[in-house]
Chain A
Amino acid sequence: MSATSIQLDPQGRLLHFLTVEGLTRRHLTDILDTAESLRGVAERRVKKLPTLHGKTVVNLFFEASTRTRTTFELAAKRLSADVLNLNIATSSAVKGESLLDTLRNIEAMQCDMFVVRHEQSGAAEFMARHVKPHIAVLNAGDGRHAHPTQAMLDVFTIRRHKPDFPHLRVAIVGDILHSRVARSLIHALNILGAGEIRVVAPRTLLPTQVETLGARVFHDPGQGLRDVDVVVMLRLQKERMERALLPSEQEFFQRYGLTEERLALARPDVIVMHPGPINRGVEIDSRVADGPRSVILEQVTNGIAVRMAIMSITLGNHARPAGGTV
């Protein structure tokens, strides 16, 4: 069984959220519509819903992350769940405890959901295969493989600004090779029927056979950004430079960095996105990041509602006995 099939029950309902690959348009629009109805919660006096009252969510982070962990934590708390944050990178992994032992130990604390980030591709899927049946597993980023909740908050943000997906042109720019964000986003956009998906990157930062993902390849941003509705800039990891995949930050900025001049090639109502944290002056110029076309902070806000939706849908489907009636 693949990650795609292990995350669904026999009726095709989401039990875990490991990857967007293989899901149907209906799965994705259910998540987006639910997130839409959860967005208003943040504006109320009581920013909390009772839905997951009495449930315990464990954030299992084997790889450092502030933003993703924080938004998962807020999402769980706004659904009234109790939240436990475990940064394993600094604890048991160092002591040599295996992933399975860690899992069994936390399971023994009577938890209902694991949110997993790991530097190994497939770690969340491994968890989903081994957890007790009442536990839901959400992938918060595994290696280069997938970051499905980021992809969902990205398409949610795009849909709010540009609902006409069949005519949508999206350019994803930067380090596609190492990016789980790009991979998940390309899958999500294809499932939702986006008109054209472009990847814009130097050859050294593109995976082999990138076209099979369903994206057009451009090496020159002068062509790749022309007439697009959405530009998604990816974070350039400094360690890539050290491994000599790139000449220097300055040269990358000169060739690929998003400046006002380059943005002018896109459609006048283009939106600029970035999964964060941004490297100012490396992949994006401050004037663009802070400018009127940027929706980068909106992505952060939307991430909470989208994660609330995914949490309530997956845990709700666990509650429902398979084949049971409403």
Chain B
Amino acid sequence: MRDAEPLIETMAGQLRGLLAARGIAEPMLVGIHTGGVWIAERLRQRLGIAAPLGQLDISFYRDDFSRIGVSRQVRPSELPFDIDGRHLVLVDDVLNTGRTVRAALNELFDYGRPASVLLAVLVDRGGRQLPIEADVIGARLKLMADQEVQLTGPEPLQLVIQQTTP
């Protein structure tokens, strides 16, 4: 069990610097359900971003539909702004294979054509199967293949590392 707030503070610092370096004054934050939305909301408050939060549920964009079907906890995706020409920050809790981010990018582009997309994650646990990297990383974790890291929340936000049942 590990408190996630200090990691979010780290993310906020990195993101602030990155946005300044790129001259992005009004970024739009988009969280991936569920953990990504919790983190994005905290980043939005810390960075004082006025624009509302976007939320993505990538269930219908997953590449493993033909193996596992539709998730029971699917939620509506909501982007309460026009993303055309805007600078987006995509936020997720754990970056592993990169498949979730691939699905999220595909979904984003069905809403419009953003000027740029940055990726911010709480935890990068390696394990990539696609050419995807994060721009902002709260922590890098080295985990065994049979270990799993999960974010529990929304209050308090905590990272839990568990053995997966074989």
A and B together in one complex: yes
| Contact of A319 (CB < 8 Å), options: B57, B60, B67, B74 | B67
- Contact residues of A between 35 and 69, Cβ < 8 Å to B: 36-40, 44-46, 48-51
Q: Say yes or no: B110 contacts A320, CB within 8 Å.
A: no
Q: Say yes or no: B106 contacts A50, CB within 8 Å.
A: yes
Q: Say yes or no: B69 contacts A320, CB within 8 Å.
A: yes
Q: Is A317's beta carbon under 8 Å from chain B?
A: yes
Q: Is B145's beta carbon under 8 Å from chain A?
A: no
Q: Is B160's beta carbon under 8 Å from chain A?
A: no
Q: Which residues of B contact A33 (CB under 8 A)?
A: 72, 74
Q: Which residues of B contact A50 (CB under 8 A)?
A: 60-61, 106
Q: Which residues of A contact B74 (CB under 8 A)?
A: 33-34, 37
Q: Which residues of B contact A315 (CB under 8 A)?
A: 69
- How far, in Å, is B166 (CB) from chain A's closest CB? 10
- How far, in Å, is A51 (CB) from chain B's closest CB? 5
**Proximity string of chain A (297-322) to chain B, C-beta cutoff 8 Å, 1 when within and 0 when not:** 00000000000000011011101100
Stretch at the interface among B10-18, B21-29, B75-83, B135-143: B75-83
Q: Say yes or no: A45 contacts B112, CB within 8 Å.
A: yes
Q: Tell me the complex Cα distance, A49–B61, Å.
A: 7
Q: Which residues of A contact B78 (CB under 8 A)?
A: 40
Q: Say yes or no: B110 contacts A48, CB within 8 Å.
A: yes
Residue of B59, B65, B72, B75 ringed by the most chain A CB atoms within 10 A: B65
Residue of B57, B68, B112 ringed by the most chain A CB atoms within 10 A: B68
Q: Tell me the complex Cα distance, A54–B111, Å.
A: 22
Residue of B nearest to A36 (CB): B76
Q: Is A94's beta carbon under 8 Å from chain B?
A: no
Residue of A38, A39, A50, A313 ringed by the most chain B CB atoms within 10 A: A50
Q: Which residues of B contact A324 (CB under 8 A)?
A: 67
Q: Is A326's beta carbon under 8 Å from chain B?
A: yes
> Contacts A37-B77, A49-B61 hold; do A44 and B66 have CB atoms under 8 A apart?
no
Residue of B nearest to A317 (CB): B69
Q: Say yes or no: A326 contacts B70, CB within 8 Å.
A: no
- How far, in Å, is B72 (CB) from chain A's closest CB? 6
Q: Which residues of B contact A51 (CB under 8 A)?
A: 60-61, 65, 70
Q: Is A30's beta carbon under 8 Å from chain B?
A: yes
Residue of A nearest to B84 (CB): A45
Q: Which residues of A contact B106 (CB under 8 A)?
A: 50
Q: A40-B78, A315-B69 are in contact. List 11 more A-B contacts (CB 8 A).
A: A34-B74, A45-B112, A46-B109, A49-B60, A49-B61, A50-B60, A316-B65, A319-B67, A319-B68, A320-B67, A320-B68
26 contacts between A and B (CB under 8 A): A33-B74, A34-B74, A37-B74, A37-B77, A38-B60, A39-B76, A40-B76, A40-B78, A44-B111, A45-B112, A46-B109, A46-B110, A49-B110, A50-B106, A51-B60, A51-B61, A51-B65, A51-B70, A312-B60, A312-B69, A313-B70, A315-B69, A319-B69, A320-B67, A320-B68, A326-B68
